[in-house]
Structure 1
Amino acid sequence: MVSNLAGGRRPRSGVEPGTQLGALEAYAAQAHGYLTAGDDELSQLAGLLRPLILESWLRGVRAGIDPMDPGSERGLRGADLARYRDAHAIAPLLPLIDKLLVQDTARTGLIVVVADQFGRVLWIHGNPEQVAVATEMGVREGDDLSERRVGANAVGLVVRTGRAVWVHGPEHFLHRMHQLTGAAAPLHDPDGRLVGVLMLAGGGRVAKPEILALVKATATAAEMDLLLTAMRAVQPAPRDPAPVADGPLGLDVLGLGQPQLSKGGERIPLSQRHAEILLLLAEHGEGLGADHLALLLDDTDLDNGTIRAAMSRLRTVVGAALIGSRPYRLRAHIATDVEALRAALDSGDVESALQLYAGPVLPRSTAPGIVDLRDELRVRLRTAVLRSGDAAVLRRWTAGADGRDDAGAWVAYRATVDRDSTLYAQIEAKIRVLDRRLGADATRMQRSRS
C-alpha cells in the first residue's frame, strides 16, 4: 500500500479547490517518482492522482512527453503572433476581460492568461515580475499549452475536456510548472464552439472555489458579449457566387484508406495534406485566414508562403472554383463522412454511427486541428456506445482498434452477457489481461469514468 506522506487520509477523488492541498501536493510529488521509474510503476499512479489528472498523465506517457522537458523558444512570436491574435474572435473581448478580471487580480500578484481554442497563449496580463516568473515556467505569449504539447495543465485540460478545471502544483506533468496553480474555464461562441480559454494563475491560493467561480463568471460574461455582437450583425457578409457543380461533393477521411474527394461522379485521391485542408475548411464554414489555417495544420508554425503554395497545389487537384480566398473557404458544400457520423450521434443512432466509423479521422495526421477533431469524435462515439448498453453495439466496438483495449467497454459488454456462458468467461479473461497490462488501479479508474 502507498504510504501517506502528508499524514491522515488520501485526498478524495472529488476534492474541491482549496481543500487538502498539502496532501494533494505530497501525493502528486510521489506520483512523479513512480512516473520517472518507468512503465512497471505506472499502476501506482491511480492511488495518488485525481481521475482527471491521472487520465491526462497516462495520455502524456503514451505521447512520449518528457516530464523534465526544459521548454524551448518555439512558438508564435513577434508580428506573426500580433497578426494572429488581433484577428482572433477573442480580441474584441479584451476590454471586458480587463474590467472583470485583470484590473482586480493584477494587484494580487496573479496573472490572467487568455488562450485560443487550441491552447496557444495569446495574451498574459499581470505585473511584470509575475509575468517573468510565468515565462520561466513556459507560460508566455505565443506558447502552446495544449495537453499534447506539455501534458496536464489547466489550459490544456479545458481544451481537451471543454470543462472548467483547476490544476495545482505537482499535478502538472512538467516539473518546470510545479510552482504554478491554474484555474481555467472555456469560452464558447454563440454556436457552442470553443473559441478560447481564460485562466487565473499563481500560487496555491488560486486553488479556491471562489477563484474558479470568478473565472467561469468572466467567461460567461464574455460569451454573452459574443452573442450580443452576433445578434447585432444583421447584415450578412458578402459571399462569392456558388460555382456550378457537376453533382454533389463528398469527402471520405475516416479510417486507414486513402482520403478521397467525390466530385461529379469522379473519385479523386487526395494527399494527406490536401485532405487535411479540405476537412478543416468543411468544418469551418466561415472560412480560415492563413495564420489560423497554419496553426490548425502544424504546431511548428508554418509561414503564409507555405500555406499559399499548399492551396495553389490543392486547387489544381480539386478545381480553382471550389476554394475562395481571404479568408480561405469552400464555395460549395462538401458532405463529409465526419459530418454524417456526427449527425448519427446527434440523432442517437449508435448503430449507424458505428457503421459509418471506418476508423479514426485521418489516423496518420498529426495536424493539431485534425487531432482535436479525431479525439472529439472518438470520445463522443465511445460515450454513446457505453450508454447504449446494447450487446451487439458493445461487441462491435470492442472488436475494433479503438475499443480493443477499452476496459470500460469490456466491463459494459460483460454486463450484457449471461454469467454462465462461454462468452462471459472470454470477456472476463480479456479484462484480467488489461488489468495486468495497464495495472488494476489504472483500469479500475478507466472503468469508473464510463
Structure 2
Amino acid sequence: MRQPGRQTRRPERRIPQSAAELARVHERALAEAAARSAARDSAAPDDPPFLQPRPEIGDSWERLRRLGLDPDAGAAAVHLGPAEIEHRRRASGLDPLLPILRGTLVEQGEQPPLILAIADADGHILWQEGERGLRRSADRIGFFTGARWVEERVGTNGIAAALRAQRPMQVHSAEHYLRSHHSWTCVAAPVHDPGTGRLIGAINLSGPAHSVRPYLLQLTATAAKLAETELRARRLESLHHLRTLAAPMLARVNGPALVVDAAGWTAAAAGLPPPARLRLPAEGWGSTAVHWLPSLGECAIEPLADGWLVRPVRPQDAVPAVPGGSDGPGADTAGPGAGLLAEQAEGARLRLDLHRAGSPELSVRGAAGSWSHALSPRHAELLLLLATERNGLSAAQLADALFGDPARTVTVRAELSRLRRYLGGLLAHRPYRFAESVLVTVAGPEDPYDLLPTSSAPAVRRLRAGLVGGTVRLPGTPPLPGPRPRPGRLPLPPP
C-alpha cells in the first residue's frame, strides 16, 4: 500500500569502498575545490584514476563547500535544553515507537557495538542508546541527545542524508564531510506519518567504521517500516473513534455529508459515495465557512472532534471524479481537479512551489476553482521536468531523465496516470506535456542545491548545476545574465 507524499525505494546495497579509498576521494575533492581547478585535467598520465563519490555524497560535499563549512571544525553546535527535548519528544509522535525500535535494533545478541539514535524531522537527536564506551566516543564529536545533526552544522552524515533524501541511507567512513567523523559509519532510515505522508523523523545506527555489517542498512529500513505500521494502526483506531462520534450527527443532517479526520481521511459518509480521502488545502481552511472542493463542489466546513464535517451545498459545481480511482492510502484519489476537462484548462495558472526543501506543493487556479496540496517526491520530479520542457517528453525520455534508463517506461506511465487523475485536462500526452493554455511557474529555493533535495534523478542534478552556473532558469523567474542553454538539454553536473 503506497504512502502519501513518498516514493518507495529499496535501501542501497552497494558494497562500500574501503576507508583508504574514501579518504582519497574526500581529500582530493576538497583540494580540487580549494585550488579552483580540475584535478582530473592536471593529473599526470601515470596517476591512478580519480575515484568519484556516490552522487548523493558528491552533491552533499559540493553544497557544503559552497556554504564554506570547515571540514576540520564544522560549525557552531546547536544543543537543546532538557525542557525543549521533552517538548519535541511529545510533539514528534515518535515516543510510542520506542519499544518496537529497542526490540528490533538494540536488544539483539551477537551484533557489533552500536548506538541507536532517534531524531525528529529537523535533525534533533531526541533519544540515544547504546554501549557506554561507544557513547563516550560519540560525545567527543558532539553526537548526543539534544544535538542537531544536520549537514550545515556537522557535514554529511547518516541522519541528515536520510532526512534529505527521504530514503534509507548509509554514510561510511570518509564519506562524512568532517574528518573527525571518518572513523564512524552511520545508517539511517526516515519515518513518515502514514496518514499525511509527512516526514516525522529518522532512525539511525552508528558504530566504528571497521565493524560495519552489510545487513545494518536493511535492518534499519525494516525498523522504520515497523514503526510506520504501528503509526498506521494507531491512525485506524483514531479513525474508528471519530466514526463512532460522527454517526449520531450524520443521522440528523439533512442532505449529503461526510466526516473526515484532520488529514482528510473519510471516517463516515451519508448520502454520497465516500472518497477514500479529501485533499485538504495546504494552507488550511482559514476563517471562511464555505470552500470549493474539486470532487464535491462548494462545501460548508465545520469542526468536529479531531476532524471536520463536510456538507456539499452546491453539488452541481462538483467536478466528476475519475472512475475506479480508489487505491487506498497514498493514492491521489478524490484529489484536487480530478477529471478536469480540456476546456477547463483554458487560462489556468499552475504554480509548482519548490522553495521549501522537502515540501513540494502544487497550486492551480482556473475555471473549475482553486486548490493546492502537497506533492509526493516522484510527482514533484515529473512536474518539474514537464515545466522546464514545455514541448513535452516521451515516456522513454522521462524514464531516462529520472532513472538514467529509458526502458523504465512502465513506472513513468503509472505515475503520470496518477497525476492525470487530478490534473486532467491540464496535462496532455503523446508526448507528455502541460496544455498550451496553462501558464506554468516554478518557485525554486534560494540555494539551487535545495531544489528537490530528495531527488537523485540525472536530469534534476543537471538542472541544479545549471542553476548554480546561471545557464538555466526556472519557468516564471526573471532572465539571468550570461549564456543561455541550448533548447532541450540541460548542462551536465560538475565532475
Displacement of 1:129 in angstroms is: 1.9
Tell me the alpha carbon deviations over residues 320-371 of structure 1, each in whole angstroms, 9 at most, x when there is no partner.
Answer: xx9x9xx9x9999xxxxxxx9xx6799999xx8x97555756x5xxxxxx54
What are the within-5 Å matches in structure 2 for residues 267-416 of structure 1? 356=349, 358=351, 360=353, 370-373=356-359, 380-386=379-385, 391-392=390-391, 402=444, 408=459
Seen in structure 2, the aligned counterparts of structure 1 residues 391 and 113 have a Cα distance that, compared at 3 Å, is: same
User: Is the 2:77–2:153 Cα contact (8 Å) retained in structure 1?
Assistant: no
Instruction: Identify the residue that residue 223 of structure 1 maps to in structure 2.
Output: 228
Pick closer, same or farther for the CA change 1:129–1:163 going to 2, 3 Å: same
Whether 2:234 is the aligned partner of 1:236: answer: no
Equivalent residue for 2:216? Answer: 211
Counterpart secondary structure, 2:30: helix
C-alpha separation in 1, matches of 2:441 and 2:50? 27
CA distance in 2, matches of 1:132, 1:110: 12
Partner of 1:104, secondary structure, is: coil
Q: Which has the larger radius of gyration?
A: 2
Q: CA offset at residue 184 of structure 1?
A: 0.8
Q: 1:139 to 1:15 in 2, by over 3 A?
A: same
- The partner residue of 2:22 within 21, 24, 39 is 24
Choose from 156, 160, 163 the match for 1:156: 160
CA contact (8 A) 1:398 1:410 kept: no
More divergent stretch after superposition (152-161 vs 25-34):
25-34
User: How far off is 1:382 after superposition?
Assistant: 4.1
Q: In 1, distance between residues paired with 2:58 and 2:358?
A: 20
Aligned equivalent of 1:54: 58
* Candidates 199, 206, 218, aligned match of 1:194: 199
**Partners in 2 of 1:88 and 1:99 — Cα distance?**
20
TM-score by length of 1: 0.55
**Percent of matched pairs sharing the same residue:** 24
Q: In structure 2, the residue corresponding to 1:23 is in which secondary structure?
A: helix
**Partner of 1:198: helix, strand, or coil?**
strand
List per-residue Cα deviations over 1:260-301 (Å, max 9, x = no partner). xxxxxxxxxxxxxxxxxxxxx97597x9xxxxxxxxxxxxxx
1:138-195 CA-partner distances (Å, limit 9, x unpaired): 2221222233443321111111111101001111122232222101111222223322
SS in 2 for 1:114: strand
Whether the 8 Å contact between 2:77 and 2:148 is mirrored in structure 1 is no
Give the whole-Å Cα distance in 2 for the aligned partners of 1:210 and 1:28. 25
Q: Supply the distance in 2 between the matched residues of 1:188 and 1:225 (Cα, whole angstroms).
A: 11
Q: Counterparts of 1:156 and 1:18 in 2: how far apart (Å)?
A: 19
Check if 1:79 corresponds to 2:83: yes
Counterparts of 2:183 and 2:461, CA distance in 1: 39
SS of equivalent residue, structure 2 residue 122: coil
How much is the aligned-residue C-alpha RMSD, in angstroms?
5.1
Q: Specify the alignment match of 1:100 in structure 2.
A: 104
1:116 and 2:120 matched: yes
Distance in 1 between the 2:80 and 2:231 partners?
Answer: 25
CA gap of 1:393–1:151, structure 2 versus 1, over 3 A, is farther
Alpha-carbon distance between aligned partners in 1 of 2:159 and 2:98, rounded to the nearest angstrom: 18
Q: Which residues of structure 2 form unaligned runs of 5+?
A: 1-11, 42-48, 247-279, 288-300, 311-331, 362-373, 394-432, 452-457, 464-482
Match of 1:143 in 2: 147
Return 149-158 or 159-168, whichever deviates more: 149-158
Gaps of 5+ in 1: 1-13, 240-280, 288-313, 316-321, 333-339, 364-369, 413-424, 442-450
Q: 1:200 to 1:410 in 2, by over 3 A?
A: closer
Equivalent position of 1:33 in the other structure? 31
Which stretch has the larger CA shift, 381-390 or 184-193?
A: 381-390
Structure 1 pair 360/105, CA: closer, same or farther in 2 (3 Å)?
farther
Letter in 2 for 1:164: P
CA distance in 2 between partners of 1:385 and 1:282 (Å): 21
- Report the more deviating stretch, 74-83 or 392-401: 392-401
| Structure 1 residues 200 and 39: alpha-carbon distance in aligned structure 2, compared to 1, 3 A threshold | same
Question: Aligned residue for 1:179?
Answer: 183
Structure 1 residues 156, 427: closer, same or farther in 2, change over 3 A? Answer: same
Residue 383 of structure 1 deviates from its aligned partner by 3.4
CA distance in 1, matches of 2:444, 2:235: 39
Q: Point out the structure with the larger helix share.
A: 1
Find the aligned partners of 1:158 and 1:347 in 2 and give their Cα distance.
Answer: 36
Higher relative strand content: 2
**SS state of the match for residue 108, structure 1?**
coil
In structure 2, the residue corresponding to 1:384 is in which secondary structure? helix
Q: Distance in 1 between matches of 2:216 and 2:461?
A: 39
**Which amino acid is 2:382 matched to?**
T
Q: 2:84, 2:441 → 1: CA distance?
A: 46
Match of 2:93 in 1: 89
Q: By how many angstroms is 1:391 displaced?
A: 4.2
Question: Could you tell me how far apart the structure 2 residues matched to 1:355 and 1:210 are?
Answer: 50
Question: How many pairs were matched up?
Answer: 318
Which amino acid in structure 2 is aligned with residue 373 of structure 1? S
User: Alignment partner of 2:156: what SS?
Assistant: coil
Return closer, same or farther for 1:399/1:172 CA change in 2, 3 Å cut-off: same
Residues 101 and 284 (structure 1), Cα distance of their counterparts in 2 relative to 1, 3 Å cut: farther
Contact preservation (8 Å) 1:106, 1:125: no
